[in-house]
């Protein structure tokens, strides 16, 4: 697609009176706004819906219209093609040559030169540098550290309550705790810092750099701060790298015995084509690993607790048999993942479902919608950890269908499958088991939860992760 035709499309969209700003009414969850019908009765889609508060709180009925009537929807307002069916999306994800990941624009400056933008052999080489440290035996070795961090964070709650922390309140034998501020916001970052081997004394600085980098990815006004934070991180990492090249550091088990080198020490001794990785390359790996694993795992933990506590029978089942946490984790990621989808560029002209897509177009693969595709998952809006059609076994590295069941799409599939999938699974499950051990009779405190846009009813989960999750439990 040429730049001229893109500009022409945008100009046409801007002048189209039908694309002037429009407000949509808020609908009950699961029901779509009536945006009109074609002569044959097909429901119409007004692309302005995708920017509306209604869509952010209640996206699934709109994805259903897209899947049923416009499996590839050419959105001239946003200049992209939305792909919404499970089978189409998995096919594109596996075809790394036909559907390229795209330079992530502002992310390049903030995260540095990462593999996000690469494909093929180059991508595989970069990914293997750290990916091997997040799976298998290496991951097993890291579980004691995950357990210890969870215990330490929860062990601090009583002191926090006594000091009047805003996220924890003790009253009449009941503790109300906001699980985000008290646990899930920081836990995944602490875990990743630990397995990377990031020094404890720099963790506060690290949180500051992390938050600045994350907001730097989000918009132009915060981009400068993100780039500066990345530079500070790189300056700091330079010192660590110099020291670790001479003297590697280790992770220890609960008895203080060394179990393996931390990831930074391993990266320091990694050679590519005969050369050691540069400090810039090591910093980019650190930024990418932490950037990929913070907000996503936070969302998984909070969404899982929210969904389970809203379905007390399923919560009881998990409490009675901790093996069910694995099912709960996967069903949460199917039902309400923390990542909506991924952009791709098609490298040649294609036709999908009768829509011609010129080479180089922006195609939005909507993982949220794939996870709710009724062609794959029966009754997809229902949260059911015992559903028969979801594969919840050991995470599959290359496949996504096993034993006649499909996996959810929250980690993507194919060459870019999330390399943090295994560790985020362990963080969420191990962390939740320890949370439950400390909380007697936990239940949602909806009166403290953020409100919907009407300012009264509790905010639905929509397409963002739960912002605040207030839980009450009995103090023993
Ligand atoms: C529930 C938690 C998580 C979710 C839902 C998630 C989701 C995803 C998805 C959908 C992708 C694929 C992107 C694409 O296809 O272009 C991805 C890639 C990635 N994720 Fe995760 N992720 C999670 C946790 C983590 C963790 C804990 C880490 C690091 C420790 C991590 C690091 C990465 C990296 C480095 C990539 C880029 C992989 C590549 O391009 O080859 N993620 N993640």
- pTM of the predicted protein model: 0.91
Distance 163 CA to ligand 1 centre (A): 37
Distance in angstroms (rounded) separating the CA atoms of residues 125 and 21: 46
Dihedral sign for Cα atoms in the order 186, 192, 195, 198: negative
Q: Is the pLDDT of residue 109 over 80?
A: no
Residue 54 tokens read as: 């209604």
Beta strands in 164-236 (DSSP E): 168-171, 174-178
What are the tens digits of pLDDT across the range 271-281?
Answer: 888 888 888 88
- Residue partners of 57: CB distance under 8 A and separation at least 6: 26, 29, 452, 453, 459, 460, 462
Among 9-18, 30-39, 55-64, 159-168, the range scoring the smallest mean pLDDT is: 9-18
Beta bridge partners of 472: 176, 443
Rg (CA), the chain: 23
Distance 418 CA to ligand 1 centre (A): 4
β 341-346/362-366 pair status? antiparallel
> Mean pLDDT in the chain?
88
> What is residue 106's predicted lDDT score, i.e. its pLDDT?
46
Nearest to 333 by CA among 279, 406, 403: 406
What are the tens digits of pLDDT across the range 292-351?
Answer: 888 899 999 999 999 999 999 999 999 999 999 999 999 999 999 988 999 999 999 999
What is the 8-class DSSP label of residue 96?
A: T
Residue 222 backbone dihedrals phi, psi, to 5 degrees: -100, 0
Given ligand 1 and candidates 113, 292, 431, which is best to mutate, with the most ligand atoms within 8 Å of its CB?
292
Residue 151 tokens read as: 């215990």
Contacts for 200-208: CB closer than 8 Å, 24+ residues apart: 202/236, 205/232, 205/236, 206/233
Q: Which residue minimizes the CA distance to atom 30 of ligand 1?
A: 420
Distance 294 CA to ligand 1 centre (A): 10
Nearest to 145 by CA among 259, 60, 61, 310: 259
Contact of 107 with 91, CB cutoff 8 Å: no
Distance 420 CA to ligand 1 centre (A): 6
- Residue partners of 330: CB distance under 8 A and separation at least 6: 390, 391, 392, 407, 408
Length of the chain: 476
What is the 8-class DSSP label of residue 444?
A: E
- Residue partners of 272: CB distance under 8 A and separation at least 6: 125, 129
Report which of residues 16 and 446 the model is more confident about: 446
Q: State what percent of residues in the chain have pLDDT above 70.
A: 91
Residue 471 tokens read as: 């839980």
Contact of 452 with 165, CB cutoff 8 Å: no
> What is residue 167's predicted lDDT score, i.e. its pLDDT?
97
Domain ranges of the chain: 103-334+417-474
Contact of 182 with 190, CB cutoff 8 Å: no
Q: Which residue minimizes the CA distance to atom 6 of ligand 1?
A: 411
Distance in angstroms (rounded) separating the CA atoms of residues 351 and 81: 12
Residue 274 tokens read as: 């005969």
Nearest to 142 by CA among 206, 190, 202: 190
Half-sphere exposure in the Cβ direction for 311 (13 Å, CA): 17
Distance in angstroms (rounded) separating the CA atoms of residues 235 and 202: 13
Ligand 1 atom closest to Cα of residue 134: 30
Residue 227 tokens read as: 């780039």
Distance in angstroms (rounded) separating the CA atoms of residues 393 and 340: 23
Distance 36 CA to ligand 1 centre (A): 38
Contact of 333 with 410, CB cutoff 8 Å: yes
Q: Which residue minimizes the CA distance to atom 3 of ligand 1?
A: 296
Q: Is the pLDDT of residue 13 over 60?
A: no
Residue 96 tokens read as: 């790394």
Ligand 1 atom closest to Cα of residue 299: 1
* Residues lining ligand 1, Cβ inside 6 A: 101, 115-116, 127, 134, 192, 288-289, 292-293, 296-297, 300, 337-339, 342, 410-412, 416, 418-420, 423-424
Contact of 422 with 395, CB cutoff 8 Å: yes
What are the tens digits of pLDDT across the range 24-77?
Answer: 999 999 999 999 999 999 999 999 999 999 999 999 999 999 999 999 999 999
Given ligand 1 and candidates 296, 325, 336, 429, which is best to mutate, with the most ligand atoms within 8 Å of its CB?
296
Beta bridge partners of 208: none
Distance in angstroms (rounded) separating the CA atoms of residues 121 and 102: 16
Beta bridge partners of 80: 75
Q: Which residue minimizes the CA distance to atom 41 of ligand 1?
A: 416
> What is residue 202's predicted lDDT score, i.e. its pLDDT?
84
Distance 359 CA to ligand 1 centre (A): 26
Question: Can you count the helices (H) and strands (E) in the chain?
Answer: 18, 17
Distance 411 CA to ligand 1 centre (A): 6
- Residue partners of 455: CB distance under 8 A and separation at least 6: none
Distance 296 CA to ligand 1 centre (A): 8
Distance in angstroms (rounded) separating the CA atoms of residues 112 and 275: 19
How open is the CA angle 23-24-30, to the nearest 5 degrees? 160
Beta strands in 92-132 (DSSP E): 99-100
Beta strands in 85-157 (DSSP E): 99-100
pLDDT mean over 256-275: 85
Domain 103-334+417-474 falls in which CATH fold?
Cytochrome p450 (1.10.630)
Distance in angstroms (rounded) separating the CA atoms of residues 49 and 228: 36
């Amino acid at each position: 697609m040429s730049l001229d035709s893109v500009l022409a499309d945008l100009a046409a969209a801007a002048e189209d009176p039908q694309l002037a700003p429009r407000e949509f009414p808020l609908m009950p969850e699961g029901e779509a706004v009536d945006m009109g019908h074609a002569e044959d009765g097909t429901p119409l889609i007004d692309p302005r819906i995708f920017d509306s508060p209604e869509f952010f709180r209640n996206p699934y009925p709109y994805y259903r219209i897209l899947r049923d009537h416009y499996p590839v929807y050419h959105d001239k307002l946003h200049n992209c093609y939305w792909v919404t069916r499970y089978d189409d999306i998995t096919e594109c994800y596996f075809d790394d040559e036909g559907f390229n990941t795209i330079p992530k624009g502002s992310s390049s400056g903030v995260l540095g030169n990462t593999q996000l933008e690469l494909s093929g052999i180059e991508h595989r080489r970069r990914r293997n540098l750290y990916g091997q440290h997040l799976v298998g035996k290496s991951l097993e070795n890291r579980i004691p550290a995950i357990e210890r961090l969870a215990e330490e964070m929860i062990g601090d709650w009583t002191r926090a309550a006594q000091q009047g922390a805003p996220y924890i309140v003790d009253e009449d034998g009941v503790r109300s705790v906001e699980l985000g501020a008290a646990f899930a916001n920081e836990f995944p970052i602490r875990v990743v810092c630990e397995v990377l081997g990031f020094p404890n004394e720099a963790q506060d600085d690290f949180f500051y750099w992390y938050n600045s980098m994350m907001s730097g990815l989000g918009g132009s006004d915060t981009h400068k701060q993100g780039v500066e934070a990345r530079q500070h991180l790189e300056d700091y990492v330079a010192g660590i790298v110099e020291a670790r090249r001479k003297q590697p550091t280790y992770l220890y088990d609960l008895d203080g015995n060394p179990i393996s080198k931390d990831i930074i020490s391993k990266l320091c001794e990694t050679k590519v084509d005969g050369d050691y990785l540069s400090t810039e390359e090591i910093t980019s790996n650190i930024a990418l690993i932490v950037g990929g694993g913070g907000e996503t795992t936070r969302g998984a933990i909070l969404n899982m607790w929210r969904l389970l506590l809203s379905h007390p029978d399923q919560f009881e089942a998990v409490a009675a048999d901790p093996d069910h946490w694995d099912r709960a984790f996967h069903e949460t990621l199917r039902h309400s993942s923390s990542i909506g989808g991924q952009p791709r560029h098609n490298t040649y002209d294609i036709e999908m479902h009768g829509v011609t897509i010129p080479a180089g177009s922006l195609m939005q693969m909507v993982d949220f919608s794939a996870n709710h595709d009724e062609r794959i998952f029966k009754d997809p809006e229902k949260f059911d950890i015992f559903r028969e059609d979801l594969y919840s076994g050991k995470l599959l590295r290359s496949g996504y269908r096993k034993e006649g069941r499909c996996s959810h799409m929250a980690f993507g599939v194919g060459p870019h499958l999330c390399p943090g999938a295994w560790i985020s699974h362990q963080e969420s499950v191990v962390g939740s088991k320890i949370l439950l051990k400390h909380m007697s009779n936990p239940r949602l405190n909806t009166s403290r939860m953020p409100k919907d846009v009407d300012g009264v009813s509790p905010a639905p989960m929509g397409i963002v992760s739960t912002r605040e999750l207030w839980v009450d439990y009995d103090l023993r």
